[in-house]
Every structure is written in structure tokens, then in C-alpha cells.
Structure 1
Amino acid sequence: MPTKGTNPLPVEGIWDLTLLTPIDRIEAEAEFTRRDGVLVGTARGAGEEVSLTELVLDGDRLTWKQAITRPLRLNLGFVVTVDGDTLSGTSRAGRLPASKVSGVRRRAQTGEDR
């Protein structure tokens, strides 16, 4: 789905995410890129990699859905607010309570960082 809204913030890059679920703290990463002008994404965590669907950036509000199989088979919906190199919001799986989500964009490595 194309980005909508006016002057959306750039979100491209790799983000280190933390989800605080009722069961556990989960670390994951999300990568956002543009392909033919359309925002696309992939999430990695718990030994699996999944494509993000229904990805929409509207101003500073970013939403997406993803299906996971670990630690449980769930369909997750994310609603986050992007503020520069940080994001925060919630993730929800059906009727389960919402989980807090926070994230930090990884800095691009330069020759000096290596």
C-alpha cells in the first residue's frame, strides 16, 4: 500500500524493536525500504523473517500487520509514532491485551565506525 498523507517522515532503515508483552520481553528488528516508490518492510526475530503487510505511513504515524509463528502463531497489528530515530506505540494480537512497542533506528555505519 502506498504511503499517504503529506510530507511523511522518512522511516527507511533498520530498527531495533522491543515488545513488552504480558508474557515476556521480545527483541526484534524491522527493516523499512522503498521499492518503486512504495514503502515495504520485513521483520526478523525468534528465528524467523516475515514480510510486513498493509504498511502505511501517514505523517508520523506508521502502521503495519505481520503474521508470526514463534513463540506462538499470531497475527499482529502495529501502530507506532515515529519521532526522528525513535518510535513508540503498541502491537495487538486479536483480543489479547496490547503490548508496548519501542524502537531505535540503527545508525548507518561509516568507514570510521568499522
Structure 2
Amino acid sequence: MNTIAGTWLLRMKTPVGTIEAEYRFEDEGGVIRASASGGGETTALTDIAAEDSPDGQHVAWRQSITRPLRLDLEFDVTVDGDALAGESRAGRLPRTRVTGERITA
């Protein structure tokens, strides 16, 4: 079972302020499927990879958004219980700190 499974509230600290979005991760027979909702749009996550590490479960994914800007994002986080932390990156832009908390299992 993937520890990322569930619904999460993620916060991304960007130069224009903190952005919040809801992420839903589902474990379907060992395959993770997920989507994100925020800013008036819902997008599917792609290239989701999860592996166990000494610090928790390491999870990475890609996501394309159109609001507030059209961006291709890459996330890299570590899940520890009902919390996660890591970073996202949009192309050549600086890395953005990401934190999150599970709101439902």
C-alpha cells in the first residue's frame, strides 16, 4: 500500500504568495492514480513514482496547469504519516517549497 493514498491539502510557497490545492491519490492494485484541484481547474498527475526511504515514502510526479499561469510542474516530496514536505519546480523557475497534510485517508 502506498502511504500517499488519500486526500491532501498542499501548500506551495511561491514568490506571489502561498497557493493551496487539494490532491487526491488512489492506490489501485499498486498503481497510483491522482488528480489536483485548485485555482478553478482539476488536472491529472502523470509519471507518479513512489518508493520507500528511511525518512518515509518518497513520491514524485508531474502536473500541467493553466492557472494562474500555464506551467509544467515537477514535484518531489516525502510522506511521513499524515504530513508531507518537499518541493516543486516549473522549468527554470526557482524551486518552490511544498508542505501538505492528509485530510482524509
Q: TM-score, normalised by structure 2?
A: 0.91
CA–CA separation in structure 2 for the residues paired with 1:63 and 1:73: 20
Partner AA of 1:75 in structure 2: D
User: What is the percentage of aligned positions where both structures have the same residue?
Assistant: 48
The answer as to whether partners of 2:3 and 2:79 remain within 8 angstroms in 1 is no
Stretches of 4+ moved more than 4 A in 1? Answer: none
The reply to whether residue 18 of structure 1 matches residue 41 of structure 2 is no
Structure 1 alignment gaps of length 5 or more: 1-7, 109-114
Greater Cα offset, 29-38 or 77-86: 29-38
**Higher relative strand content:** 2
Superimposed CA distance per residue, residues 58-110 of structure 1 (whole angstroms, 9 cap, x where no aligned partner): 111000000000000000000001000000000000000001000000145xx
CA RMSD of aligned residues (A): 1.3
Q: Which has the larger radius of gyration?
A: 1
CA–CA separation in structure 2 for the residues paired with 1:95 and 1:15: 26
Q: TM-score, normalised by structure 1?
A: 0.84
Partner AA of 1:87 in structure 2: L
Superimposed CA distance per residue, residues 17-50 of structure 1 (whole angstroms, 9 cap, x where no aligned partner): 0000112210101100023431110001000000
The reply to whether residue 41 of structure 1 matches residue 38 of structure 2 is no
Structure 2 alignment gaps of length 5 or more: none
